[in-house]
Structure formats: C-alpha cells, structure tokens
Structure 1
C-alpha cells in the first residue's frame, strides 16, 4: 500500500464555499438597502457616513493586524460587512466621526480582541450600535426625513398615534439609513436565500414568535395594520435577515437555530411593548448571541455510539 493518507480530526466534510465568498454575497445582498438609503437620505449626505464607516472598519482591521504581526485578513470582506451593517444602523445625520468611533469599537474591541473572525461572541455591528447609543444617545435618536425632524413611525405607534404602513413598507419615512425600505431589504434577502447563504429557520422563527407575542400582549389582537407596522419598523427586517443570521454568533444546530430565533422574537416584543424604547432589535439579538453557547449545549446531538440516558 503506497497511498499516503492525511490523518486529521473530524469533521472531514469539505465545502468549496469560502468565508470571503459568503461575505461578498452578503455585501451584494446589502446593496439594495444601501443604495435606497443613500438615495432616500440624499439631503443628509448619508453616503458619506456609509463610505467613511465602512472604510474605517476595514482600515481598523488592517492596522490592528499589522501592529500585532498577524496575517492580514481584510480580503475576506468580513470587516467591510461589519462596517456597512453598522452604517446602515445609524441615523443619516450622525456626524461621520461617530461612525468611525463605532467602526473601531466593532473591529478592535468586539472582533479582534476576541481572536478575529469566527471568535467574536456577539455581532460586532450591533454591539457597536449599542455602544454608540449609550455614548451619544441624543445624536443616535435624532431622525430626519425630507428636512423635517421627528420621531420614527415605531415611536409614534408606541405613543398611540396612527402611522402610514405603506410608507414604512416602501421606505419613505424616518429611521436609520438601511432600515426604512422593507422591499429593498427583502430583495437582498431573497438573493441570499437563493444563494444558500441564509437559513430560513432563524428569520422565520424570529418573525413568527415576534408576531405571536405582539398579538397576545400588544392590545390590538390580530390587527393587520398594527402587525405590519411593527414588522416594517425599527430595523426588524434588517436584523432578522442580515444580523441574526450571522454565522459566527448564531447556533449551528437546526433546533438551536429555531430556539435562537424564538428568543430574539420574544425579547424584541418584550423590549418594544414594555421597555422604554420603541426599538429593541439590537439588544434582543446581542443578548441572544450570549445565549448561543447554552442553546448549542442543549441541542447538540449525541455522538454516534454514545450510550442512552441513565
């Protein structure tokens, strides 16, 4: 026997998909929401915040890895995805330097200090958004649309005011750069679904559990307009399809993904209906990120040949 065998630890299944390819497809999937946001908030020069925040994330990763004498990994596009997701979660009027602070925090503190891609314990973009909310609450909650300042539709809904759900669906309303147009978000999400990047278990269980929660506790029953307004507002769709599905911070088991999605849905409903803020998606996802190790421990299948329950 002259064959040479490579001895290695399991798993032995190999896939042609690389991290760089997946991240590139995510960037493509985010393009509809990004382009619409830049056009929708063109009077606020939203494009500057998008470009600067994304560039700052990539540059932060490059400088850190250079200083630490680590392999340069910016070609895997993960830093670009983090920077772009952060930018899409920011108000268009936010000063560009605050976007830079958020990008540096996301890459250095949340990602690199924990080992880089694949080691971060929560979604870096959402962690940075929550960090900016704490540091610059006034600017992070200041929203403008067509030159007029005011509350977001979700805040109006929480206050008992009527909202235009069609405007929320199309995106002609106040909000962060990438959250307003559900149609643009769903175009990108459909692309990722067709490419096999997104697993429907997480966004599906998230959305269903959230709807059930607000039907039971929202005080409006099965009111279609009320449900639609909640689904179209507050970045829920952007979070469900592009951030809750993050490979690193979500479970790998099938049942774990469903439990994870349910946790996010229930927490989002809890924060929105009973919390002080009208939003809640960011906090719901990062708290559920912290629960992932426990979820995987509970849902991990038993190794083949292991004895039964005692």
Structure 2
C-alpha cells in the first residue's frame, strides 16, 4: 500500500521536486553568516571574548533573517512574483536556527550551568523577553510543515503564524535592551520593521499598496524611527528628546537610522512602481504579434 506521506525534497528543490536556483541561492545566503562566523573564530578574529561576540552575531542574524522572511510577501505583491513564496519557510527556519545558536552559545558562555542559565533568564528582563521570542519561533518552526497546515486548517494556521509579528517585536526589544548605549543598529532594524508593518496596513487584501501610498510610507517610517530613537535615549539615558530627534533628521550629523529607513522606503516605492509598470506592460507585450 503506497504511503500517503509527502515525498521528501532537499531544500534546493520546489514542491514538485524540481531544482530551484532561487531556493539554492537563499539557502547558501542563509548559511553564509554562520560560515563567516566559524571562519573568524578559527582565525582568532572574534576579540578577547569570542563566545560573547558569537552570541551577539547569531542574535543579530536571527532578527535580520526574521525581518527578511516578513519582506517576502511585499516582494511577491509588488513585483508580482509568486515564486518568492518558495523561500519564506526557509528564511523562517534560518531565523530559528540562528536564534537557537544564540541560546546555545549563551549556555556555552555560562559553562553549561543550566541552573544559572535558567536563573539568568528569569531574573534579567531582556533575557526573559528574548527567550519568549525564541519559544515563539520554535512553535512556528514546528508548525511550518504542510502536515501542520492540513491539521490546523488554512485559517487557523495563518492566524498562528501571524504571531511572527509579535515575535519580531519581542526580538527587537531584546536586541535594544541588551545593546544598552549605542542602539544605532537596533533602531535601524526597528525602523525597517515599522516599514514592514506599515506596508501591511496599507496593502489591500492580496495586492500591493498604490505607488503614492508606498511613497508616503517612506517618510512616515523614517519619522517613526526617529521618534523611537529619541524616545529610547530620553527614557534610557536621560538625553533630551528634541536634540536626538533633530539629529536623526539632519544629514549634517551623518546618516542616522531614520534617514537609512527613509531611503530604504523610497527604494521599495521605486520597486513597487517598477512592478506595477511590469504588470501593465505584460498584457501589451503578449498581444504583440510574434
């Protein structure tokens, strides 16, 4: 009697078992940070506290890749590129891999003293927040298979996996709290997340927002990033709110996170315009005689 279980396909193949250059490229890209980190460790380039450096690096890549997984839907909609969805699960699992490596290295740093690991997580707020985010990623990773989609049903599965937004918020809070003083990269990452959430608020069901909305989203996400950074410094260090806010919006102080987020938002708006032009041009090209 033939088995009803789906055939296993290597991660560089699609659901039909065909080789996918896109999946292979994303798989290699996801492995690259780990390989680079291992190479730096082997060369003794991780500084005086190599394990701590590796802890920070794996945590940073976990949140970066999680945000990339949230970027898949906007890319699919703006570029009218359904095949982008082939790599969303892979990116989510890669984020889980780096988050688990982050925890494992933390345990290594504490010399595998599990009682101390548990007490640190319970007593330190930023560690408790990060651990909660990791547990959420584990749940999403376990339920990411087609079998779980069938068990839960499409609607319930989608509702469960919307928890990725909350997990990203927890990860960003953990990142910011453990960074302490220089939160430049944490604020940049938070600003990009603001853009991703703004996109979802503006997008009609199943489609991309209109170009004018994407253009408006760029400065709004930049302003939101500036407000976040100014608010953080005001609450955490007592630095006055307004000078930090003005510094974020003034290029004379260099490119602060808000400006980078604004530029990224404008770039995505241009991408959306290109995708709309491509979609409008495709029927005309198909109608032209051979």
TM-score normalised according to structure 2 size: 0.28
More helix by share: 2
Structure number with greater CO (CA < 8 Å, separation at least 6) is 1
